[in-house]
Structure 1
Amino acid sequence: MSAAVSPVDELLPARRLVPLACQHVLAGVAAPVSSVILIATTLKLSADRTASLLSATLVLCGVGALLQSLGVRVLRVGARLPFLMLPGGAAVAIFLQIAGEYGPATASGSVLVAAAFLLCVLPFYGRLVRLFPPLVMGTTVVLIGINMIKVTAPMVASGPGLGFATLGVIGLFFLVLRGVWRQMAVLLGLVGGMVLAVLTGTELHVAHGGTFALPEVFPYGTPHVDLLAAVPLLVFALASLAEATGQTVLNSEAVGRTPDPGRDVPRIARADALVSLGSGVFGTSLMVTSAENIGIVQLTRVRSRFVTAAAGVLLIVCGLLTPLTRVLAAIPEPVVGAAGLVIYAVIAVMGFGMLSRTDLAHGTDSVVIALALVVGMLPIVEPGMYAGLPSWARTLFGSGVAAGAIAAVVLCAVFRTLGPKVTAGSDAPPSDATP
């Protein structure tokens, strides 16, 4: 390699590029597979439609990895860093919440609205990111995790024996696996649960068809736009800017590049938004750039962005191979529910981790968190709380995630302006990824 070539711009020979790309795929593939299966099971999609949705999601993940790794300079899209793009766990949770209350067509419309909204607000990135310190993001993520645990639990209850056995398998994998394999514990748990289902005689519904197929466009019909229903995803889109700030610093330091969030974060978010427009078309949730594969970079010491670009190509190929997507789409509901409980419980724990960056002994921080959690938890524990309000108010306050996030933003701003000063620790943008 020429001394003039930065490690992040090194183009590796194919014999090294392909195996390294496969490692990145293994590190990231659990997120799209588990997310799609959760969506399909919750929405009671057919086996064919589930396979199509998984195909679309893998293709979108691949396109996102290519955009972030290679970039399109003339459009200022992509950070030209070794990033993967995945469906965020929190975004999937919000998508399912909207779909459950207003229907999947409205959920798809909300994804399109949120993606377009993110593109529009990027010029104001510097001001907006300050609205989402760890105090606000932590509260929001905790509410997302708790809300989706409530949604996912009935899936386990549909076959508690198989569901709890799958939980045990996932826990065992987390215990014994290391490195990239440990990152795949949930995916391997899904496979293990499916093996248990076969051994216990559980009926599997595997779709049939050719070897290659293109995913279905607008699987729920024409997307329906409801701005109030989209509020939770709009809040998430804004919060993703703070998430991207931390990821940019983390990834830049990992590859030896001087972090420049002011330049790179808008490019990252622009790629997220463009791929998310595709998500709305193909019926899945918002896509977000992920730092899950940074461990692979640190483990292998290979910093080349062309490795994640090759991983993007592999993801696209996997998405178009319909036998693979059809088998994955046949995983039984209790197995999916068990994986969902683990995923969303981890999301809640990540939220508590964000909150730990604030000084909870400080009166201002603890009061803001407590009040925001009250606002967000009320519609979760008592769904009929706002039944007597007008429809627009039920939409806004009936979503625990949206209500809690908005309350956290407003309360934080009010206490900063009028009350005792919020601790400095809660002002710093997060340094790790939100699911």
Structure 2
Amino acid sequence: MADGPSVTAEQRPAVAAAEVRPPLRRLLPLALQHVLAMAAAPVATVFLIAAPLHLTPSQTSSLLGAALVLSGVGSVLQSLGVRGFGARLPFVMLPGGAATALFVQIGRDHGPAVASGSVLLAAALLLAVTPWYRWVVRLFPPAVMGVTVLLVGISMVRVTAQLLTGPGGSAAPRTLGAAALTVAVILLAHRWLRGAWRQSAVLIGLVGGTGLTVALGLGSFAPATGAGAALPRLMPFGTPVLDLPAALPLLLFSLTSLAEATGQTVLNSEEPDLRRDVPRLARADALVSLLGGFLGTPTMVTSAENIGINRLTGVRSRHVTAGAGCLLIVAGLIPPLSRLVAGLPPAVVAGAALAVYAVITVMGVEMLGKARCWEGPDALIAGLAVTAGLLPVVTPALYGAFPGWIRPVLGSGVVMGTLTAVLLHALLATARTHRSGAGAAPA
């Protein structure tokens, strides 16, 4: 079996773009906009964990430092790669959203030490299955990947909308106004600026949106007070407990995450070699998650947070995302920096995220168009797969009556849409093979 598609002359400039190392005066602001766009995720993750698990201020502080540091370490590892760990593509790593929900569920039901042990088990399973990825890569043709990418964008828009609405389910006009101002600043910067300024459109939107939000009284820039982030502490919940039945939801998540990793690799590389890059990406996720299990964080996953920024700015350098990882490590180790990051108005972060995820959604539509999914049986397959992925997005309680261990899988739009597309595509391919075999058979 070949190791992957060869690089065409048309693809070589795009491949080289990931290797370009901008001068420091440009690299720093480009890296900073990645940090500002993604740093809200580890900060929010910690506070989502702290309340239901009743963490002490000391544990919360340690966990915040660990989440930022591991996000940075993972981003550097994915961007630069070391001995088969890391895709060597412009990726960033964050605590997984679905994985965080599973971590909280396990921690609430069995204790945080069991939740940390579950992270270790899930990471070990992911490491164990990556050698066999090359045998299943044929299940992910361009049409399936188009469905996956489209659903990634839509799912992330839903998550961002929840950041706007908060627990009440509706957004205040001033919150929507702040988000709209941020989107407007990004749009104007991308439309009218040139060169490095245009490439920093998201950063300009975050800074400009924050300034306008504060000036118009729509929100406040309020850096966190107190101790902020502290040095990560080893085993903050005590020795991790390995409980296989309790870990089952995270074990399932680690397997299904390969589908999302495949879509993200296609998104972030103009020369996708899935048999090579996805196992490298998954191994890096598993390695950093193993560290996270000992530092108290949920499963760490390579994220789509920055892919839209890469496309929006036109800068795909892995050195920029490595720089962003270094800044995150510094932010996790120096309390004042993490407090500043935590002070960004949520509505401003949400507005910037909406612009980024809108680009990803369009990319999914683009991929489906290139796969010519608009005619014949392929159209029905794509439509049914997207529908299966949208059902848990538009009706989150749809699978509420199912057993608790399977609900997180059924409730993931990306996983359900991808699995539906894979199964239907495989059935169609099998039917075509039987028809062609029957047609070739002698009378």
What TM-score do the two structures reach when normalised by structure 1?
A: 0.69
Distance 1:135 1:98 in 2: 30
Q: Which amino acid aligns with 2:40?
A: S
Q: Are 1:86 and 2:98 matched, yes or no? A: no
Structure 2 unmatched runs, 5+: 1-15, 191-197, 435-443
Deviation per CA, 1:232-273, whole angstroms, max 9, x where unpaired? 4532234414543664555xxxxxxxx976555544443333
Instruction: Find the partner of 1:209 among 215, 227, 244.
Output: 227
Structure 2 counterparts to residues 89-168 of structure 1, below 5 A: 92-95=96-99, 98=102, 112-157=120-165, 160-168=172-180
Aligned sequence identity (%): 36
Indicate if the aligned counterparts of 1:375 and 1:403 stay in contact, CA closer than 8 A. Answer: yes
Q: Are 1:351 and 2:364 matched, yes or no? A: yes
Indicate if the aligned counterparts of 2:74 and 2:325 stay in contact, CA closer than 8 A. Answer: yes
Distance 1:372 1:383 in 2: 17
Deviation per CA, 1:276-329, whole angstroms, max 9, x where unpaired? 3334544255332876787899879xx8x8787666444422331211111222
Distance 2:233 2:422 in 1: 38
**Match for residue 5 of structure 2?**
none
Q: Give the drift of 1:59.
A: 2.4
Structure 2 counterparts to residues 255-274 of structure 1, below 5 A: 266-274=279-287
Structure 1 unmatched runs, 5+: 1-6, 251-258, 422-435
Q: Which amino acid aligns with 2:32?
A: L
Change (3 A) 1:204 1:296: closer
Corresponding residue SS for 1:87:
strand
Change (3 A) 1:313 1:386: closer
Corresponding residue SS for 2:161:
helix
Structure 2 counterparts to residues 8-407 of structure 1, below 5 A: 18-19=24-25, 21-40=27-46, 55-68=65-78, 71-73=81-83, 76-78=84-86, 81=88, 83-87=89-93, 92-95=96-99, 98=102, 112-157=120-165, 160-178=172-190, 179-184=198-203, 187-188=206-207, 191-192=210-211, 195=214, 199=217, 204=222, 206-209=224-227, 213-215=230-232, 225-228=246-249, 230-241=251-262, 243-244=264-265, 247=268, 250=271, 266-280=279-293, 281-284=295-298, 286-288=300-302, 312-339=325-352, 341-407=354-420
Distance 1:379 1:69 in 2: 32
Indicate if the aligned counterparts of 2:65 and 2:332 stay in contact, CA closer than 8 A. Answer: yes
Distance 1:348 1:11 in 2: 26
Distance 1:275 1:38 in 2: 19
**Match for residue 431 of structure 1?**
none
Distance 1:335 1:117 in 2: 38
Corresponding residue SS for 2:371:
coil
**Match for residue 4 of structure 1?**
none
What TM-score do the two structures reach when normalised by structure 2?
A: 0.68
Indicate if the aligned counterparts of 1:279 and 1:287 stay in contact, CA closer than 8 A. Answer: no
Change (3 A) 1:29 1:416: same
**Match for residue 437 of structure 2?**
none
Indicate if the aligned counterparts of 1:92 and 1:285 stay in contact, CA closer than 8 A. Answer: yes
Change (3 A) 1:78 1:307: same
Q: Give the drift of 1:119.
A: 1.9
Pairs aligned (count): 393
Distance 2:422 2:220 in 1: 47
Distance 2:353 2:312 in 1: 25
Indicate if the aligned counterparts of 2:102 and 2:250 stay in contact, CA closer than 8 A. Answer: yes
